Copies of this chain bind each other. A is one copy, B any other.
Amino acid sequence: MRLTRDPTFCFDVLRTDGGARLGTLHTPHGLVHTPAFMPVGTQGAVKGALFKDVAEAGAEIVLGNTYHLYLRPGDSLVARRGGLHRFTGWDRPILTDSGGYQVFSLAERRKVTEQGAEFQSHIDGSSHHLTPELAVDIQARLGSDVAMVLDECLAYPVPREQAAGSMERSVRWASRCRARLELLRSSSAAPVEISNGGQAQFGIVQGGVFPDLRRASADATQALRFEGYAIGGLSVGEPIDLMYDVVAETTRRLPPDQPRYLMGVGTPEDLVECVDRGVDMFDCVLPTRNARNGQLFTSQGRLNIRNARYAEDDGPPDPECRCYTCRRHSRAYLRHLHLAGEMTGAALNTLHNLTFYLDTMKRIRDAIAFGTFSSFKQEFLRSVSRPAHDS
């Protein structure tokens, strides 16, 4: 067992099966079994699901968005409430992103310099300047269990030179983030309110789709000695096989005894493929966002509940699913709720999709434990990749 700097945070790899790793992540708010999927709780809530249902679906950790929480209700207010756990009532582990991804998505409303990113709030147009140091301070106030460094996210494709320059800036920002956290950890009189003394910090590997840049980024980021490492800048439009290659290339270069987090990915197929390439943690809005649009992930592929063929279908969304929605409700009913614009429909779809994602992670972990990951993967991809049954 390897203890990271803070004794309340550590990661154990219990078993490997090919590239796949079974592990446990210990945090100040409890244990996370890896490979893990983190439902996205953008503004301090998972859209369409109460936390009791998120927990019942099997989530052990959720993601909070620094950009949104910084703007509303504000990280200082959250700190005065005792941090994000107490404020939201979710008492299990939380990972927060750095806010960078949202800021870079603002397009015309942001300007990036070496110092940081200036942007205008999407809520009221007010001006803000997100620096690496501020990203650390905000997350310290929020008190998440895992904080992320501020990095620069690029679109796809970009020329090699641009990817290189951006990756190098991300390394410099990572260094500033690490220095800032060290300062907060060592200060007897911390300049910001610390809501979680055991907060870990993950570095982020960038470098676009260029293997040598990814390797250079992985090396430079590791030199800063983070508690874990993320792979950023993927799932931004590149071909899927290229993404898988970059993931494989990057994990190979990361320390074997620390957690690896693939940011913003992905489909159920992506989860299985990237676990196979050594990833331990994932987050993605797909299960929750698509639920609200009426798309259900099932053991037999995706299903668009608004399709007329479900109007009189008394079967459950997924016959193999154990969730409340599948135990209690039919496709016909969910279709009706969706067409009628009932928020209860979105909630039921969300509950199912989250359960499907989290059950998939459970099945992945079981397969690694039994040394059968390879055959599980083959069978899983065959099932979920069937020609969509309602296309």
Which of A43, A52, A82, A336 gathers the greatest number of chain B CB atoms within 10 Å? A336
Which residues of A152-171 are within 8 A (CB) of B? none
- Interface core residue of A50, A51, A339 (most chain B CB under 10 Å): A50
- Least Cβ–Cβ distance between A53 and chain B, in angstroms: 8
Judge if A346 is at the interface, Cβ distance under 8 Å: yes
Contact with B along A334-348 (1 / 0, CB 8 A): 001101101111111
Complex: A372 Cα to B87 Cα, angstroms? 40
Chain B residues within an 8 Å CB radius of A43: 336-337, 340, 342
Q: Which of B77, B87, B88, B330 meets A81, CB within 8 Å?
A: B330
User: Nearest CB to that of A327 among chain B residues?
Assistant: B89
| Residues in chain B near residue A330, CB distance under 8 A | 81, 87, 89
Give this chain's copy count.
2
Asked if A72 CB lies within 8 Å of chain B CBs, one says: yes
Known contacts A50-B324, A343-B343, A346-B343: does B333 contact A44 (CB below 8 Å)?
Answer: yes
A332's closest neighbor in chain B, by CB? B81
Cβ–Cβ < 8 Å partners of A64 in chain B = none
- How distant is A16 from chain B, measured CB to nearest CB, in Å? 38
Closest to A328 in B: B89
Tell me, in angstroms, the Cα distance from A132 to B5 when the chains sit together.
76
B-chain residues with CB within 8 Å of residue A50 when the two chains form the complex? 324, 344, 347-348, 351
> At the interface, yes or no: A381 with Cβ under 8 Å from chain B?
no
CA distance A336 to B332 in the complex (A): 35
Question: A73–B344 contact, CB under 8 A?
Answer: no
* A389 smallest CB distance to B (angstroms): 21
In the assembled complex, A284 has its CB within 8 A of some CB on chain B: no
Q: Which residues of B contact A257 (CB under 8 A)?
A: none
Chain A, range 53-82, C-beta contacts under 8 Å to B: 68, 72-73, 77, 80-82
Q: Roughly how many angstroms separate A138 CA and B146 CA in the complex, as a whole number?
A: 56
Q: How far is the CB of A31 from chain B (nearest CB, A)?
A: 21
Residues of B within 8 A of A82 (CB): 314
A47 & B347 in contact (Cβ 8 Å cutoff): no
A323 to chain B, nearest CB (A): 11
CB distance from A338 to the nearest CB of B (A): 11
B345, A45: Cβ atoms closer than 8 Å: yes
CA distance A180 to B89 in the complex (A): 54
Cβ contacts under 8 Å, A13 to chain B: none
Q: Is the CB of A332 within 8 A of B87?
A: yes
Is the pair B339, A51 in contact by a Cβ cutoff of 8 Å? no
**Residues of chain B within 8 A of A328, CB atoms compared:** 51-52, 89
| Interface check A179, CB cutoff 8 A | no
Q: Which residues of A contact B (CB under 8 A)?
A: 43-52, 68, 72-73, 77, 80-82, 86-89, 311-312, 314, 324, 328-330, 332-333, 336-337, 339-340, 342-348, 351
Taking A50-B324, A50-B348, A87-B330 as given, write out 8 further A-B residue pairs in contact, using a Cβ cutoff of 8 Å, ordered by the A residue number. A43-B340, A47-B342, A52-B328, A68-B340, A73-B332, A81-B332, A87-B333, A343-B343
